[in-house]
A and B are shown apart, each in its own frame.
Chain A
Amino acid sequence: MGLLTDPKAGNGEMAKFILTWEKVLCYLLYFCGIIWMMCLAHPFFNDNTYYSENALLPGLVKKESNLMPTSKAFYRELSSERERFPDRMPYAWIIAKFHQLNIEVYTHNFTLNYPFHSYKYTGQNIYGIVRAPRAASTEAIVVSVPYRSITSVHPDTTPSVALLLAFADFCRQQRYWAKDIIFLVTEHEQLGMQAWLDAYHNVVSGHEGILLSGDLAGRAGSIQAAINLELHSMAITSIDVKIEGLNGQLPNLDLFNLAQNMISKEGIRRSFQRRFDTYERDPVKKWSYHFNTLMSMIMAQSTGIPNGNHGLFHRFGIEAITLEGFDNLKEGAQRNFYNVGRIVESIVRSVNNLLERFHQSFFFYLLTCTDRYISIALYMLALVLMVAGLFIKAFSLWLRLQDSSVELDNFKSKEKKKIESNQVSEFSVGSIASEILWTHTVGALLMSSPKFFVPMIIKHFGFRTEDAVFYSFLLITIMSIIWPIFLIKRKSKYSNTALVCVITCVEFGTALTCIAMHNFSLAFLTAVVYVPIVLSIYPKQTITSRYRKILNVIWPLLHPFSIITIIVFMYGFINYRDETILSVLVRSLKATKQAFVLSIFDSMIYGNMLYSVTVAIMLPIWLLYWNIIHKNTEINT
């Protein structure tokens, strides 16, 4: 290994090798990446989870709680209270309960300025704080429940509110707490949680002026961990642990592991992605089961939309999970709140033991079942292999453009000729820069425009928000697809187009790696879809492949907006198989419209990156490649 030797020495062979085997190598790497990912689901390639943080001392305490009687009483009262207020939270009742339990209680008001419209939604969260007798309110643990009224479309969470109150009562009686415990009941699903967290940290996570989070009257130091409860029944047969957070962030693996172990210790069936662990003997079936679990996690993570209120904590460096309890199993022992309460107790007490904040174990991982994980060191390889293909392609294109001293003796005569004929001495920097600039400007403009344009469209054309957004997207899509027609007459030098191709490949590869740092799943899925096609995109040459025409069909289908539409439609077909095709189509169209609006809302309210990434990164890259596909090149001989 010659670190200090001449870089040019011995470079020739490498370059030669790449130039000869470029295409094969690129596709080989791509398939290696996919195969590696598939291998990872096999237990041979992944590991058992383990506790990295010894201070958790999981399951070592003698559990003392019996929350069954109290939570039952709370449940009965709350159920009747819920009927009195069918569309809002019974604030007074919850506040009164906290007062009765001798817990300091605060309310938090928040307002949502509905994006694109001038109306306002208001909501109220209620939280009580049990102060730690052994500390000076420097640290806190959050136990939260999203309150759902009778009119809510989501499954009922009244039992969790009852459990929360019963657990608060239990905690108030104990003296061993070293961290304050915040009992939080939020309203309006994730909106309430986001508002509360924004207010706690006094920040605005989304766009200014959309979610007005106000101020909190009571605080409790830095939050170390949070447990969100979504228990749908007073008798529980299985508990699902949800981890996927905003922008694909995950909680520390220790916390997930702790929850899973405590659940199984209490004799309740545990699941991940609503899939129970398999005890299949057949290795192929076992692998496919694990692979499906892995893929469902990747799917859930890639959207960047949290699948529970826990997901909003991660941004603030707070480890959080959701325990979702079901009573849906025919077989299996049904457990009541005695056991569920003990699960919550043991998790909170373990977290209470923590001396340092969660910092050991993994923050980046993928899971194949409740107790096996794939570390970042392993799964990153899959993406790296795929991205390597892009860089190799860019490198070889660049080499070919160079008036290089690469010996071409080994090349076939045809190729040699082609390369020699294409050798150009200079690029026109202006045209290349302008092309890259305008595509990215379009992306940046689109990213920031909804705030200004959508309300205008709604006002002038009288559309509903979904329609306004959908039709403007449709217009943009069609415009960007037919755009190259105007370019058909214009010719540019081969070298310029090739250089744009090199730059785009490098940009795409870099973008994928950057996205993978935040949200591996999103980058992985993007790479799986785009990389094989991108690898086949070359500037037009005198001798072009027959298959080049196919690109004209495939590439528009890979337009970021078309691909989202396709995904939503496919999802519709899978989920509503039993309905007629027409109704599924109508349903899917509606869902697509909503998906567009929601992705914009998510970026405005929560700071979800999906919309920004799609519009500001993927769209310019798509446009650049579309140009490369269509640009006629003149070859100077």
Chain B
Amino acid sequence: MNCGVVVFPGSNCDHDCFHILKHVFKLHTEWIWHKGDMDLSRFDLVVLPGGYSYGDYLRPGAIAQFSTVMKEVVRFAESGGRVLGICNGFQVLVEAKLLPGALIQNNTQKFICKTVPVRVENTSTSFTGECADESVLNIPIAHHQGSYFIDPDGLSQLEENRQVLFRYCGPAGEVTDEFNPNGSVGNIAGIINKGGNVMGLMPHPERCADPAWSNLDGQLIFKSIINSLQSGVSA
């Protein structure tokens, strides 16, 4: 299984993602430089990591969406390749229209950096197959512009197609305003595209996936992706 981690100027979670894939899960992993127009078809998984690509100028992901590598990422995604966007990677995916909606400033007006519970909403995807139904994962968030927005029509489509994969919740899985850290519509923390091969989420699973740490909840997401690819189940 071949993994690629995209590096934009300003990516800062790229090494964490690379470390988890290569050293924890022992997968062949390569860097993908943003200026390259390399053919991505040999990869099984492409990760867009967190950070501040292009300084978040204009809007997070606004400039990254037009980088050379993103043309290839779009082609890769359209041909069914698995794409995982974490935090800024999620913002790039919505700007590139590979995922619906947008990410706007947290309603708290603050940068939030803390571990939060998220409820797994759909376990029949290739990104969540290893999670138990309605289980609660504790995953760190670290963002200023992570409030998910989508208009009411878009939201009902997301719900109808079961594209919402993660929602911010309380410790026992309560999805309420009280446990919505940033004002996201429907407490949405992560979504998948209609095709089931592109997933974006604001929480950082790569920050809780190394056995050196006590919290390994993020491993479930990586294990889900690996197992679905190794068992040959298409997205």
Do the two chains belong together in a single complex?
A: no
Using CB atoms and an 8 Å cutoff, list the residues of chain B in contact with chain A: none
Using CB atoms and an 8 Å cutoff, list the residues of chain A in contact with chain B: none
